[in-house]
Amino acid sequence: MIGRVMPVDPVLAAVGDNAPADVVAAARAEMGLDDPLIVQYWSYISNVLQGDFGRSVLTRNPVISDIAHYFPATLEMATLALLIATLLGVPAGIISAVKQGSLTDQIIRVVCIAGHSVPVFVLALLGLLIFYVGLDLVPGPGRQGVIYDGMVPSVTGLLLVDSLLAGDMGAFWDAVHHLTLPVLILAYFSMAYITRMTRAFMLDALKGEFIISARAKGLSGWSVVMGHAFPNVAVQLITVLALTYAGLLEGAVITETVFAWPGLGQYLTTALMNGDMNPVVGTTLIIGAVYVGLNLLADILYRVFDPRVA
């Protein structure tokens, strides 16, 4: 409904501001925008249930095919960011909890607060300023260098995988270099949250009676931490990681814009700026479905790994 009552006219975006009135009227009728809002809503929902999200005014392609084209770039970046954030954040949270109140704990907490407080676009711009402009350690914005653009056949849409399948190691390492900075920015932002949650879960677990009992039996410190406390925390972390992954998939919009990353976020932003509402609504629905799906998966895994959960 909001998309239909916005001041930006999608018909003019399609035919141009200077199009004759009869052309505008014909396009409006063809797009179904001259029907009452409730009719437009019902028509849209009916089409969505059949897998039809409409057609983009900008690309002239069906929205679902555009999403299939742009989503792998976002998926690749978000997945790598989650892996790095998990591999660093979980151990950092455990160490911070075990060494509560120490200098190590304070340093980890400060790093996490900074990562969770500074907006992503600020981190992205600072990263480009320091590592691209200043130190020239990473390539500029974009997913691939000009020399490799379009050279790797698209099989999965994941550039790292496709370049390996094609046996083009030059394109592979070029893709790795372009991924490095945006992935690390997102990983740092996500790691801050994962570390804080891991620390909180571990502190609660270490106060349990089963931990006191294990220590009374003479078990060493890290045996108690990793053998008794962490298994209880791991189940709770499943939900945290699922929510973090969903947040990365839907929250990479600003990062993709800063790095000119040809993913779902940039597709959504470009469509929104041009009043192309079919891609905006379609992308929002897909992201929502992914978010709900990951939450459902987390609930299922929660029950699998913890039989006590009914």
Rounded to the nearest 10 degrees, the angle between the axes of helix 169-206 and helix 230-251 is: 130
Residue 150's region, left for phi above 0, alpha for psi from -120 to 50, else beta, is left
Please tell me the distance from the alpha carbon of residue 159 to that of residue 171, in angstroms, as a whole number: 9
Please, which residues have CB within 8 angstroms of residue 116's CB and are 6 or more apart in sequence?
A: 189, 192, 193, 196
Q: Print pLDDT tens along the chain (310 aa).
A: 777 777 666 777 667 667 777 777 887 777 777 778 888 888 888 888 888 888 888 888 999 999 998 999 999 999 999 999 999 999 999 999 888 889 999 999 999 998 888 888 888 888 889 988 888 888 878 888 878 877 888 888 888 999 998 888 988 999 999 999 999 999 998 999 999 999 998 888 878 776 767 666 666 677 777 777 788 888 888 888 988 888 888 767 778 888 888 888 888 888 888 778 888 888 888 888 888 888 888 888 877 776 666 5
Q: Which residues pair with 62 in a beta bridge?
A: 55
Q: Residue 55: helix, strand or coil by DSSP?
A: strand
DSSP-assigned letter for residue 54: -
What's the CATH superfamily of 63-118+183-305? Answer: MetI-like (1.10.3720.10)
The pLDDT of residue 173 is 92
Look up residue 65 and give its two tokens: 């095919």
187, containing H or E segment: helix 169-206
pLDDT tens, residue by residue, 171-186: 899 999 999 999 999 9
The pLDDT of residue 56 is 86
Query: How distant, in Å, are the alpha carbons of 50, 174, 186, 233, 305 from that of 267?
Result: 23, 23, 19, 38, 38
Please tell me the distance from the alpha carbon of residue 293 to that of residue 290, in angstroms, as a whole number: 5
Instruction: With beta carbons less than 8 A apart as the criterion, state whether 265 and 256 touch.
Output: yes
- Residue ranges of the domains in the chain? 2-41, 63-118+183-305
What is the reported pTM?
0.84
The pLDDT of residue 60 is 84
Query: How distant, in Å, are the alpha carbons of 2, 40, 178 from that of 13?
Result: 17, 19, 33
Contacts 24+ apart (CB under 8 A), 169-178: 171/144, 174/139, 174/144, 174/145, 174/147, 174/148, 175/143, 175/144, 175/148, 177/138, 177/139, 178/138, 178/139, 178/142, 178/143, 178/144, 178/145
The pLDDT of residue 277 is 83
The pLDDT of residue 28 is 75
The pLDDT of residue 183 is 92
Please tell me the distance from the alpha carbon of residue 179 to that of residue 72, in angstroms, as a whole number: 13
Q: Residue 100: helix, strand or coil by DSSP?
A: coil
pLDDT tens, residue by residue, 40-71: 888 888 888 888 888 888 888 999 999 998 99
- Which one, of 123, 115, 70, lies nearest residue 255 by Cα? 123
The pLDDT of residue 146 is 79
Look up residue 125 and give its two tokens: 């711009």
